[in-house]
Amino acid sequence: MNNHREIPVTDGISSNNNNNPYVHISIATHAASKSPNSMDTICDAINRCSKRIGKATTQAEIMVDNLWNHIRISSNPADAAMARLVQGTKVLTNGGFDKLFQQTFGILPGEKLLKPYACYISTASGPVIGTLYISTKRFAFCSDYPVCHHTFSLQHNCIYYKVVLRLDQLGTVSPTTNRLNPKEKYIQIVTVDGYEFFFMGFVSYDKAIKTLNEALQQHQNHSNGNTSVQPL
């Protein structure tokens, strides 16, 4: 299976983040294959995921419902469904999430990955699907597919969209729910210097909040309370 898929976007996703110190660009070196767009692909992806959940019917129903909400956010639901399969393949070929995290972002002294979570990050060009890694020292996001940047000069560049936030750079972390649609849940992060990020479309939102709180609590304990961001 090809591990790369193009997400065509406008020039805005690059130009709007040129001065953002938390956004990192990684060039995609492999050609992207044609995106699938059939409902058969979506259903196949969901069936594969639901089989892994186990025999607990209630848990399976909740997971499948969350997965449907996750893929509906994408402008191409088939791409969102395939992203989960592609990410699983990438994890297996790289030896697990810990090694994939280290290869993608490096590792800080004493840092330990707590959990990764499938989600989207909001950008000027729309939601970008990827994985949010929560560690004892950082929140780090990387797009599952290369984001394709089409400039006015007709240059065609594909990049992996990354956001890296150290815990000591966070000002506020706020879980948010859409009052009109309670299934729409977000995590809003504002840095100490005023940069704002929205993460949404989590497959496991409640677990992500729990892990996030664990990371913030550990950070507060290690900093003896001398931190701008508080546990949830």
CATH number at residue 51: 2.30.29.30
In a domain, 169, yes or no: yes
In a domain, 231, yes or no: no
The whole domain housing 91 covers 7-222
Q: Which residue has the higher pLDDT, 138 or 88?
A: 138
In a domain, 121, yes or no: yes
In a domain, 229, yes or no: no
How many independent structural domains does the chain possess?
1
DSSP tag of 168? G
In a domain, 55, yes or no: yes
pTM above 0.85, yes or no: no
Please say whether the beta carbons of 186 and 55 come within 8 A.
no
Residue 178 scores a pLDDT above 90: no
pLDDT number for residue 69:
63
Residue 156 scores a pLDDT above 70: no
What is d(CA 160, CA 222) in angstroms, rounded to the nearest whole number?
32
Q: Which residue has the higher pLDDT, 215 or 225?
A: 215
Please say whether the beta carbons of 208 and 192 come within 8 A.
no
Q: Which residue in this structure is represented by tokens 């030896």?
A: 95
In a domain, 227, yes or no: no
CB atoms within 10 A of CB 52: 9
- Choose the most confident range, by mean pLDDT, from 42-56, 86-100, 214-228: 214-228
* Residue 38 banded pLDDT, cuts 50, 70, 90: very low
In a domain, 230, yes or no: no
In a domain, 88, yes or no: yes
